[in-house]
Chains A and B, each alone.
Chain A
Amino acid sequence: MMTAHSPDSAIIHRMAMGDEGALAELYDRHGTLAYSLACAVLGDPRDAEEAVADAFLQIWTTAGAFDPSRSSVAGWVSVIARTRALDRLRARRRRAATVERAAAADPAGTALPVAGATDPARATEATELRAHITAALDELPAPQRRAIELAYFGGLSHSEIATELNEPLGTVKTRIRAAMDKLRVALAAYTQQG
């Protein structure tokens, strides 16, 4: 969990006071995370940019409402970025009148081994976090991982995942619950220090 004196905390405080430079710093620290997440949800880099722009406008206007006791700043940014990306994904699904997971598109962004943060220490921290979470997901049985990805990146519900995978609803529920239990244990150290 973020401490009261963490760099992120200071940035959020300055943003709440209307400091646009602080927004630039927050974007430099977490923009890549938000954009990567939006790309994973939407597939299309232009759609992802729209979602990220929406997200950071919301983050900017509600900075004073951020509650560090509920999540880290990175967690808060990712929740908002995911929500805005899923909004667009669902609107696109309505237009297409079909349910699809937009993972097949080829995002134009460049895949990098690090988070792209400008601060080397921050980049190292992000790389470690990313590696740990990837390892935790790799430990899951493939069906559990697939169900988690459809839920998190696809925004699908239990019944929608069951339809997508052509599996019984009860099976899907069990897989997701089991996977979340494992991830909670595996990621405990990281989610607590945020």
Chain B
Amino acid sequence: MTESHGWTDYPAPFALGVLDDEDRVAFEAHLAECEACRSAVQAFRQTAAALAWSAPVRVPSAGLRARVLHEAASVRPIGAAARGGRAERASEAGAGSSRVASKTWLAAASLVLAVAAAALFVGERGARRGLEATVARMQDEAGLTAAHVAELGADLAFRDSLLAWVLAPDTRTVRLTAQGRPPSARIFWSMERGRVVIAAFDLDPAPAGRTYQLWGIAGRRAPVSLGTFNTAADGRTIAAFDIGRDARFDVAAITEEPAGGSPQPTTTPFLVGGISP
């Protein structure tokens, strides 16, 4: 491509992530067929990445290091020797697994969306190239390669296992609502298997230092914590909890609590649903 092709002003702002959507989509389509612009983008990405060093130095707490290592212990890097299926990990870790399960679901959802997008655009050359450029950009941002595609496949298997469980005859569905308005949540509950899966929608992530906590209430007894979870930036999550095979509850409720959860609810439940026998 020559220097006069009209796109020379785009690589720098593209690498910085500052292009408005219309310009970005157009340039991504051009990138798919312009090696010169791809090289320019690569150079400007390194410039943009260097800007991280201009942030005033802040020293993280020791607790953050411990948390990072603790959370990593519950998942394996892509391609590393597996320690068991994802569904098993989600159940064996109980409340602590909700973060991982959420990310797994998001990854699976991303794969489904990518496939859907590919189906929509297939056959239209320019749009397909735009999609390829988008994928290349996403790969660059997230460090994704074919190995990640393998992980998405594993995540899809995890989702399939969840779907099979949700559709099992002994699994009940409970819808938790806040007077018919968002947010909402749906619980898939098997007392026989002692397992609960919650899917939440339109629920903003809990504020810093806070979390969401799921409770089961039997009659007039005190609520029993079933686990804590949080949603992703898009307001969604899916989390699985093992609650014991003997657990029997009439009502499920969600409250916002301090990070780590509370022994008993400290706020009024904002989502409540009855569990039919």
Contact = CB atoms under 8 A, between A and B. Distances in A.
Q: Is the interface of B mostly helix, strand, loop or mixed?
A: helix
A126 B50 CA distance: 11
22 contacts: A20-B72, A20-B73, A27-B69, A33-B53, A59-B143, A60-B75, A62-B142, A67-B143, A71-B46, A74-B49, A75-B49, A79-B143, A109-B60, A110-B59, A111-B56, A116-B59, A156-B18, A158-B23, A173-B13, A177-B13, A183-B51, A184-B12
Nearest 3 Cβ contacts at the A-B interface: A109-B58, A46-B208, A18-B80
B142 A80 contact: yes
B48 interface: yes
- Chain B interface extent, by class: 35 or more
B136 to A, nearest CB: 11
A57 B57 contact: no
B64 A52 contact: yes
B209 interface: yes
Contacts of B50: 75, 129, 133, 183, 187, 190-191
Given A44-B208, A88-B205, A183-B51, 16 more contacts: A17-B80, A23-B68, A24-B69, A32-B57, A32-B58, A33-B52, A36-B58, A40-B55, A48-B58, A56-B71, A60-B75, A62-B143, A71-B46, A80-B141, A109-B58, A183-B47
B77 A75 contact: no
Contacts of B42: 70
Given A151-B18, A176-B16, A18 B81 contact: yes
- Chain A interface extent, by class: 35 or more
Interface of B: 9, 12-13, 15-21, 23, 42-61, 64-65, 67-69, 71-73, 75-81, 99, 103, 140-145, 147-148, 151, 204-205, 208-209, 233
A111 B44 contact: no
A101 interface: no
Contacts of B80: 16-18, 64
A194 B205 CA distance: 35
A191 B46 contact: yes
Given A61-B78, A180-B44, A173 B9 contact: yes
A65 B145 contact: yes
Given A46-B209, A56-B68, A129 B47 contact: no
A16 B77 contact: yes
Interface string A48-89: 111011001111111111110011101110111111000110
Given A18-B81, A94-B204, A134 B75 contact: no
Contact of B77 (A63, A184, A191): A63
Contacts of A11: none
Interface in A159-194: 159, 161, 173, 176-177, 180-181, 183-184, 187, 190-192, 194
B143 A78 contact: no
B54 A71 contact: no
Interface in A110-163: 110-116, 126, 129-130, 133-134, 137, 148, 151-153, 155-159, 161
Contacts of A153: 55
Contacts of A191: 43, 46-47, 49-50
Contacts of B67: 49, 53
B133 to A, nearest CB: 15
A84 to B, nearest CB: 9
Contacts of B72: 20, 23, 56-57, 60
A67 B99 CA distance: 27
A31 B67 CA distance: 12
Contacts of A23: 68-69, 72
